[in-house]
């Protein structure tokens, strides 16, 4: 239960802090490309951190990594309110991104070692996103949003103090950059990575898209709450299904969802597309995570690399979304999201025909 509460708090904090960053950047006179660069700085720091600490999760005391991650996140999320131009915002977002990459693999190992459902634990991630979106939409003041986000990380640190001490994972010495893990699991990482490039391009500019469709900050928060709110209920019921089926279905539903977001004329028409995205990401995340944990001895590193692929995709996706927005507009970004999801599906089909186990 305590781990679920931590999962809820940290993801609420991440989402409420991130939702209005594109609008905040725009108010600081950032161009579309600069908004993309700000997102890429966050993604690059998150990528480096998740890779470093997913390796550490198999070799160092888990609680130590959780302490470091939650304390540093509490500090870096608070100081985001002091951004005064696009450059300072990019730097502060990079610090926040590095902080939140420290702990995800450790939390997954806790759940696995306790023999609990990965799907049910993962479901508290989107529930946190939903709560964070709602809180951000209701508060709608940047300084208050960043303060509450910081306090949620501080509360997670205090809860972690009550968790039992556990040993590190495999205690195996491995190469820091594990080419073997990447080669063995490329058929999971690469399609997921491609889909996330498109998704990050969409999510970077989506608050601006909704604002252009006459949504105020309250309604942006409400609309954003729908997708992760549904994910909470969907993820809890997916452990029984074949992992590869979930991955295939997730890619196809992603493409359909992004296409559904193209012809919008007012913000509430986004609801069907966001419902499809809820199913697609739930299928992809649970299917991919379960497949990696089931088939790899270095479970923390294997699952952590999935988070690293998400972070790496956010770098490319953010840059792509910002550039496409500047030259082709909002609907061009939606089409880009659909294209990358279809490419990911094609790669997974190719892997299946090559008889990847």
CATH of residue 188: 1.20.1250.20
Mean pLDDT lowest among 30-39, 102-111, 121-130: 102-111
pLDDT band (50, 70, 90) for residue 300: low
Residue 55 host element (H or E): helix 32-56
3-state secondary structure of 306: helix
Is 142 within the bounds of a domain?
yes
CB distance 206 to 330 below 8 Å: no
Supply the pLDDT for residue 176. Answer: 46
CB distance 68 to 120 below 8 Å: no
Q: Is the pLDDT of residue 353 over 80?
A: no
Predicted confidence (pLDDT) per residue in 28-76, tens digit: 999 888 999 999 999 899 888 887 887 776 677 778 888 999 999 999 9
Q: Which residue in 94, 50, 56, 102 sits closest to 76, CA to CA?
A: 94
Mean pLDDT lowest among 23-37, 155-169, 225-239, 333-347: 155-169
Return the residue matching tokens 């923390």: 300
Is 173 within the bounds of a domain?
no
Predicted confidence (pLDDT) per residue in 130-186, tens digit: 899 899 999 989 999 999 999 999 999 999 888 776 665 555 554 545 677 888 888
Q: Is the pLDDT of residue 261 over 60?
A: yes
3-state secondary structure of 103: coil
Is 221 within the bounds of a domain?
yes
Is 174 within the bounds of a domain?
no
Is 111 within the bounds of a domain?
yes
Supply the pLDDT for residue 30. Answer: 92
Q: Is the pLDDT of residue 237 over 50?
A: yes
Q: Is the pLDDT of residue 267 over 60?
A: yes
CA 129 vs. chain centroid, Å, equals: 10
- For the residues 257-270, what does the mean pLDDT come to? 94
Domain holding 263, by residue range, is: 2-164+179-353
- For the residues 232-241, what does the mean pLDDT come to? 82
CB distance 297 to 170 below 8 Å: yes
Is 143 within the bounds of a domain?
yes
Is 215 within the bounds of a domain?
yes
Q: Is the pLDDT of residue 100 over 90?
A: yes
Domain count across the chain = 1
Mean pLDDT lowest among 18-22, 125-129, 352-356: 352-356
- For the residues 99-109, what does the mean pLDDT come to? 84
Is 218 within the bounds of a domain?
yes
CA dist 232 and 245 (Å) reads 20
What is the rounded average pLDDT for all residues in the chain? 86
Supply the pLDDT for residue 241. Answer: 84
CB within 8 Å of 306: residues ≥ 6 apart = 188, 189, 192, 288, 289, 292
Mean pLDDT lowest among 3-12, 285-294, 301-310: 301-310
């Amino acid at each position: 239960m305590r781990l679920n509460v931590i999962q809820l708090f940290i993801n609420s904090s991440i989402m409420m802090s991130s939702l209005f960053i594109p609008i905040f950047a725009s108010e600081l006179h950032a161009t579309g490309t600069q908004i993309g660069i700000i997102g890429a700085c966050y993604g690059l720091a998150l990528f480096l951190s998740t890779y470093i600490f997913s390796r550490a999760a198999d070799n160092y005391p888990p609680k130590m990594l959780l302490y470091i991650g939650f304390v540093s996140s509490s500090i870096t999320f608070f100081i985001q309110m002091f951004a005064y131009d696009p450059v300072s915002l990019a730097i502060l977002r990079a610090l926040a991104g590095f902080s939140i990459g420290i702990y995800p693999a450790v939390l997954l190992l806790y759940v696995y070692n306790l023999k609990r459902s990965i799907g049910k634990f993962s479901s508290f991630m989107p529930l946190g996103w939903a709560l964070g979106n709602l809180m951000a939409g209701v508060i709608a003041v940047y300084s208050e949003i960043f303060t509450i986000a910081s306090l949620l990380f501080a509360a997670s640190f205090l809860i972690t103090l009550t968790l039992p001490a556990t040993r590190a994972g495999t205690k195996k010495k491995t190469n820091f950059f594990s080419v073997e893990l990447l080669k063995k699991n490329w058929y999971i990482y690469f399609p997921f990575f491609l889909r996330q490039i498109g998704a990050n391009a969409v999510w970077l500019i989506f608050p601006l898209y909704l604002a252009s469709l006459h949504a105020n900050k309250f309604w942006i928060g409400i609309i954003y709450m729908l997708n992760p709110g549904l994910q909470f209920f969907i993820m809890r019921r997916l452990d029984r299904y074949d992992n590869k089926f979930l991955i295939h279905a997730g890619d196809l539903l992603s493409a359909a969802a992004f296409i559904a977001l193209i012809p919008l004329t007012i913000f509430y028409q986004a609801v069907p597309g966001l419902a499809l995205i809820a199913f697609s990401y739930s299928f992809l995340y649970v299917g991919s995570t379960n497949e990696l944990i089931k088939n790899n001895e270095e479970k923390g590193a294997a699952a952590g690399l999935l988070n690293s692929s998400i972070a790496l995709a956010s770098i490319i996706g953010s840059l792509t979304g910002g550039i496409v927005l500047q030259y082709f507009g909002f609907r061009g970004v939606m089409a880009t999201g659909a294209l990358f999801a279809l490419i990911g599906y094609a790669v997974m089909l190719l892997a299946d025909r090559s008889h990847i186990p």
